[in-house]
Amino acid sequence: MSFTLALVQFLIEPGAPLKNLARMEEFTAQAKAKGADLVVFPEDAVCGPLSGQTGFVAHSDAYLARMQALAIKHQVDLVPGTWTVAEDGALYNQAHYITAQGLVAGSYRKIHLWETESAALAPGTVASVFTTRFGRVGLSICWDIAFPELFAAMNAQGVQLILSPSYWSFPQDGPEGTVKMQDEIHLIDSLCTTRAFENNVVFAYCNAAGVLEQGGVKSVLSGRSQVTDPLKKVIAQCEGNREELITVEVELPVQGV
């Protein structure tokens, strides 16, 4: 079956979850108006990067409930990025897949933490693949994309669509910033195409937008949100790192043939 997938390359305001949630609701309504059946937001979409991730843990259940209500309201499946959850004294960067009925079909805790995350967060331990109305779906988060063994584990579970909320940025240092951006774009494009091809899946990479300034350091989001197909390669893509909503009709490959 075919369906319409929407990626929101979202401009996140760090430490402002209520503002971000309100804007996510607006974008979800826009995506539905464009015919979207499934809407995906970037990593850290609700709270922003690390300081926000760990600063609003007490509200994680409330974020989930609000996003479940949003999925029901617009009758779309929804991956509202990630936020931090707590369990047994440990913190995890977790993504949820919410159905149009408001049910959590699957969740995933980021296994491959970036170096700034590993000081505060614990890594997840298992790949996540689950059944949805569209087929078998798996979740990965940002830096996970660099580790093929995670995708092989999903492949073994019959995954057809992998959704990857991301917050991929790099420090901007003077005139070398432009060169660095091109390097990041090349890496992201290569990994997205490779993950789709090697696993015979549709791969949807949803990055954040804009520029982050924290502690006197300016970091540029790489953007480049895209959907890749094992045969057609890139079937939709954000060209830069500005905020943007893209939609694309997707047909999932049949596994095991």
Q: Is residue 257 part of a domain?
A: no
Distance (Å, rounded) from C-alpha 25 to C-alpha 232?
31
Does the pLDDT value for residue 94 go beyond 80? yes
pLDDT at 173: 61
Write the CB contacts of 218 (distance below 8 Å, at least 6 apart in sequence).
Answer: 171, 172, 211, 212
Q: Is residue 69 part of a domain?
A: yes
Does the pLDDT value for residue 25 go beyond 70? yes
> Which of 48-52, 67-71, 108-112, 244-248 is predicted with the least confidence, judged by mean pLDDT?
48-52
Record the tokens describing residue 93, joined without a space. Answer: 């960067």
Q: What is the pTM of this model?
A: 0.95
Q: Is residue 256 part of a domain?
A: no
pLDDT tens digits for 127-184?
Answer: 999 999 999 999 999 999 999 999 999 999 999 999 999 999 877 665 545 667 788 8
Q: Is residue 245 part of a domain?
A: yes
pLDDT at 55: 87
Does the pLDDT value for residue 257 go beyond 60? no
Do the beta carbons of residue 48 and residue 16 sit within 8 Å?
A: yes
Does the pLDDT value for residue 218 go beyond 80? no
Sign of the torsion angle spanned by Cα atoms 67, 70, 76, 80: negative
Write the CB contacts of 4 (distance below 8 Å, at least 6 apart in sequence).
Answer: 34, 35, 36, 37, 38, 247, 248, 249, 250
pLDDT at 256: 61
pLDDT at 172: 66
Q: Is residue 244 part of a domain?
A: yes
Show the domain range for 8. Answer: 2-251
Q: Is residue 122 part of a domain?
A: yes
Percent with pLDDT over 70 in the chain: 95
Do the beta carbons of residue 111 and residue 138 sit within 8 Å?
A: no
The total number of structural domains in the chain stands at: 1
Counting beta carbons within 10 angstroms of the beta carbon of residue 132, is it exposed (0 to 12), middle (13 to 18) or buried (19 or more)?
A: middle
Q: How confident is the model at residue 78 (pLDDT cuts 50, 70, 90)?
A: very high
The CATH number of the domain holding residue 243 is 3.60.110.10
Does the pLDDT value for residue 79 go beyond 90? yes
